[in-house]
Amino acid sequence: MGRQKKPWRRWGLLLFLTPLAVYLLQGPWAHRSGPFFPDYPQATLTEDSSDETILLQTGLGRSAAERLLESGGLEALRRAQTAFFTLPGRQCEPLLGWFTREDRCDEASGTPLADLRPGDLLVTLSTHSLGWRHGHAGLVINEDTVLECAVWGDNSVFQSPDHWRTYTSCAVLRVKAASPALRQEVANYAKEHLYDVPYRLTAGWIGAKDPEPEDWQFGLQCAYLVWYAWARFGYDLDADGGRLVTASDLLRSDLVEVVQLWGMDPRAWLEVGGNQ
């Protein structure tokens, strides 16, 4: 008979391999492809540059570009172009210890948010857990407030949008067919019904996908919060229609258009007519 391994050896091997696996998943694996940086040349922006050119050169959609031009003229647009073509430093920071981390750039190289309006979506793919880049999402209540349901154990909260500036990737999205009045209604509904709701990773999995807020199983996770608010008004922003709503589902919805982005390839929206 062969000799059996002693239990302490098995535990010792497990204790050695577990941190190694976590390091590989949260390090090399999670960062096997970094945020997008333009691999095409800068062009000279003019007053006559097309929407497509401006998006490719600055990451700004039509409404954000117009707002920037109104406030600072062509030079402001060109500064946005310079920032879009500047590779920022970045670091991987803990969100939930070793389990969940997010990729950030420093405050000085963060990207200003050019145009936030009620009902807009904020989506990043910078957040990852054990190598799964699930991202994070929030719903804009007004230009100074975002409603988010971020981590296990915390209820949904109102936050300043400032912390979105330092994500290594981010997209500001707007529901294309919705009027400003409807977008305000969605924001008002979320403010009244979706604030201070418990975080539940299984939101939408048990019972109805869109239960009433009073139902016993009702809870939120980040992308589900955004989906739920718009679903209450007849807009299904879940690209694949499954029970799990993710940040990627919101990015790939054909109901949204780009207001602003960085760390994501704008060609992905142009190639498929407006969505990632």
- pLDDT by residue (tens digit) across 57-86? 999 999 999 999 999 999 999 999 999 999
pLDDT at 1: 46
- pLDDT by residue (tens digit) across 234-268? 999 999 999 999 999 999 999 999 999 999 999 99
pLDDT-above-70 percentage for the chain: 88
pLDDT at 16: 53
pTM of the entire structure? Answer: 0.90
Determine contact, residues 100/178, Cβ cutoff 8 Å.
no
- Residue 93 sits at the vertex; the CA angle it makes with 29 and 38, to the nearest 5 degrees, is 65
In this prediction, the residues of the chain whose per-residue pLDDT falls under 50 are 1-2, 273-276
Tokens of 158: 């109102």
Which residue ranges does the chain devote to CATH 3.90.1720.10? Answer: 93-271
CATH code of the region 93-271: 3.90.1720.10
- Strands of 90-96's sheet in order across: 90-96, 100-105, 127-129
Tokens of 150: 């971020």
